[in-house]
């Protein structure tokens, strides 16, 4: 399998966004499209990022499938509603990647340790392969350190939207975000500026040492 990072020179970057608590107000295990609400700053963020012309991709842990709270198919209307929300704000949802697993689930088919549940980078790698973007020019934006770690592991730049959702702060070099901001619109402005100017992650990024092609 080819490594998308090797194509950094020719492929564009993407913006990878966590869903619950970052793009949307966190309603635990919600799959009701009518209860999906944009988080503070998210509308402005979508307008800003939508103007970049790079793929915007949602990467989200959905362990409610493994726990048996809802079916995997219930995520389809969620994806559709997200796409509509993006469009309402001048953006296009290029991809929706979710991890339905949990190590301590109840539904056998989804109960396991996997490589896609953040902080593992599997969702980001899947997205990069399918949508043909370079992880080394991409940014991961999320509200907890597991998002930051997934971004680092994938070789992306990382922004932590510190809106109070991270409560454990188990810090390590791979959990240190390149930027920490209070709201998603602030994250979007930083990412947009960086992608417009150089399109790459900061040279000091710890993850860059681990993703050399």
Residues of the shown chain interacting with Zn ion in the complex, contacts defined by CB under 5 A: 99, 101, 114, 116-117
Q: Which is nearer to Zn ion, 86 or 110 (CB)?
A: 110
Distance between CA atoms of 13 and 11, rounded to whole angstroms? 7
Just list the catalytic residues.
18, 20
DSSP string computed for 138-200: -EEEESSHHHHHHHHHHT-EEEEE-SS---S----GGG--SEEESSHHHHHHHHHHHHHHT-S
On whether the CB atoms of residues 151 and 157 are closer than 8 A, the answer is yes
Omega prior to 119 cis, within 30 of 0: yes
Q: Which is nearer to Zn ion, 44 or 114 (CB)?
A: 114
On whether the CB atoms of residues 139 and 150 are closer than 8 A, the answer is no
Minimal distance, residue 60 CB to Zn ion, in Å:
11
Of how many residues is the chain composed? 213
Minimal distance, residue 64 CB to Zn ion, in Å:
13
Q: Which is nearer to Zn ion, 19 or 117 (CB)?
A: 117
Q: The sheet that has 157-161: what strands, in order across it?
A: 93-99, 56-61, 15-17, 139-142, 157-161, 179-181
Minimal distance, residue 146 CB to Zn ion, in Å:
13
Q: Which is nearer to Zn ion, 93 or 123 (CB)?
A: 123
DSSP one-letter code for 39? P
Residue with tokens 């702060």: 169
Q: Which is nearer to Zn ion, 85 or 99 (CB)?
A: 99
């Amino acid at each position: 399998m080819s490594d998308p990072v090797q194509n950094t020179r020719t492929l564009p970057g993407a913006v990878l966004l966590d869903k619950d608590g970052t793009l949307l107000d966190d309603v635990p295990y919600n799959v009701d499209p009518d209860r999906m609400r944009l988080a503070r700053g998210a509308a402005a963020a979508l307008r800003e990022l939508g103007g970049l012309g790079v793929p915007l991709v949602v990467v989200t842990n959905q362990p409610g499938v493994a726990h048996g709270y809802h079916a995997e198919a219930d995520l389809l209307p969620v994806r559709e509603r997200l796409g509509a929300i993006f469009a309402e704000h001048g953006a296009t949802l290029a991809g929706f990647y979710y991890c339905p697993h949990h190590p301590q689930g109840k539904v056998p088919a989804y109960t396991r340790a996997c490589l896609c549940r953040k902080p593992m980078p599997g969702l980001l790698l899947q997205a990069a392969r399918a949508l043909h973007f370079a992880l080394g020019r991409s940014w991961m934006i999320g509200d907890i350190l597991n998002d930051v770690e997934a971004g680092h592991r994938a070789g992306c730049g990382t922004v932590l939207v510190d809106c109070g959702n991270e409560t454990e702060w188990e810090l390590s070099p791979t959990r240190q975000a390149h930027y920490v901001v209070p709201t998603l619109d602030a994250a979007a402005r930083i990412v947009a500026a960086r992608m417009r100017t150089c399109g790459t992650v900061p040279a000091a990024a710890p993850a860059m040492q681990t993703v050399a092609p």
